[in-house]
Amino acid sequence: MIGIMYLIGIHKSSHALIDDIWMADGTGLDKCRASMSKQRFRFLLRVLRFDNIHTREQRKAVDKLAPIREIFEQFVKNCQTNYKNTEYVTIDEMLESFRGSCGFRQYMPSKPAKYGIKLFSLVDAMTFYTKNLEIYVGKQPEGPYFQDTSTKALVKRMIEPISGTGRNVTMDNWFTSVPLAEDLLTNHNLTVVGTLRKNKPEIPSEFKRKGLQVHSTAFGYKPTETLLSYCPKKDKTVLLLSTMHNEGIIDETSEKKIPEIIIFYNKTKGGVDVVDKLIGTYTVARVCYRWPLRLFFTMLDVGAVNAHIILDTVNPNNRIGCKLFLKTLAFELCRPQLESRATISTLPRELKQLILRFVPRPVDVPHEDTDFVPTRKRCIHCTRGTDRKFKTICHFCKGNICPIHSKSVCTDCDQTEN
């Protein structure tokens, strides 16, 4: 089923009707029809659950994520243990489109989807590997899953997989603050580069005033921090904080005289946005009204992107494109089902021939029984009007065939074909 979902995503048919995908008139996806019937696929999507329904109500009393908590945490754990990030990471928010009933659904007008489930993501700024994810559910009930929802506590939870590794974290002004940057540097050995909001009490008033000359920069220094105020255009000021840069270097060769800190921030801030783009290109997400299923689609999308990045990292001299990787992944996930269906003797002949287009003929299909006495019957490929009857039997489909629709093969070549 997961392989079929990836295959549907490759053809950008995630929002197409299942009936249209399984059409046999040449407009559908033959590999989906060969792997599974549409009734089976629709049934699996409808009954797919991720927890024990008998204890769900008890767990929901203390955890809003009870229906998907276990599988989501296992997925995040696998993301953390199977890849080592480069030296630059970024933290930002994602919005997974969803308009069904959900107690923590968010409205974010700046996002293309507008409504959906918000996730916080820690992404490698160079390779775009997703290292950590956290679902925003608001305030949890009192109990084992209650946690601080402040920005500082959130960032400290997100950086746990890289704590103490000396990496740099790029953040926007929703996350960045001076106390947080000092805490990450002192207690977690992580530097920070991020934009700042002007309402922060730690910012001197000189850095907030308007009327600065366009493309001018003001720097402020502390032993471990650098603060800058840059004026990109009239009556607009941009504030950035860095515990990574110790000098106020400006690119004098550029017309806008952009500081080095801003250049670095622009280079490393878009990791989560790139992941959103990669996911959206070949997403498996179908229209649904159950939020656990929507998050499962997100895990499949993020998992596929991460797997592709790992493959390229392990094989830097033999990289493949995203579409070819997903196509190969989808087929390998479907292969066991295709090989299993190819051995079913009661399948319709047309469907069995379709399956044999994608997998080799099964080697365990028995040849004609020596005790079997064939009878004269009409060729299965000839029309009724022709009315040619022969005793020759096809040893794969067991149907009578005429000389026109058969070929002579010696025993050695017959074994080779099998």
Tell me the C-alpha distance between 325 and 399, whole Å: 39
Q: What's the pLDDT tens digit per position in 397-418?
A: 777 888 888 887 776 665 545 5
190 sits in which H/E element: none
51-89 burial: b if 16+ Cβ within 10 Å, else e: beeeeeeebeeebbbbbbbeebeebbeebbeebebeebb
Q: What's the pLDDT tens digit per position in 119-169?
A: 999 999 999 999 999 999 999 998 899 999 899 999 999 999 999 999 999
The whole-model pTM stands at 0.83
Q: What is the pLDDT of residue 380?
A: 81
398: left (phi over 0), alpha (psi -120 to 50) or beta: left
Q: What's the pLDDT tens digit per position in 75-101?
A: 999 999 999 999 999 999 999 999 999
Q: What's the fold here for domain 63-313?
A: Transposase Inhibitor Protein From Tn5; Chain A, domain 1 (3.90.350)
Q: What's the pLDDT tens digit per position in 246-279?
A: 888 888 888 888 999 999 999 999 999 999 999 9
Residue with tokens 């996911």: 279
Residue 350: strand, helix, or coil: helix
Pinpoint the alpha helices (H) of 103-220: 151-158, 178-187
Tell me phi and psi for residue 245, to 5 degrees.
Answer: -100, 135
Q: What is the pLDDT of residue 416?
A: 46
- Asked if 64 and 103 count as a contact pair (C-beta separation under 8 A), the reply is yes
Exposed, middle or buried by CB within 10 Å (0-12, 13-18, 19+), for 165? middle
Domain positions in the chain are 1-47+320-363, 63-313, 366-418
Tell me the C-alpha distance between 120 and 149, whole Å: 12
Name the residue with higher pLDDT: 289 or 399: 289
Tell me phi and psi for residue 296, to 5 degrees.
Answer: -65, -40
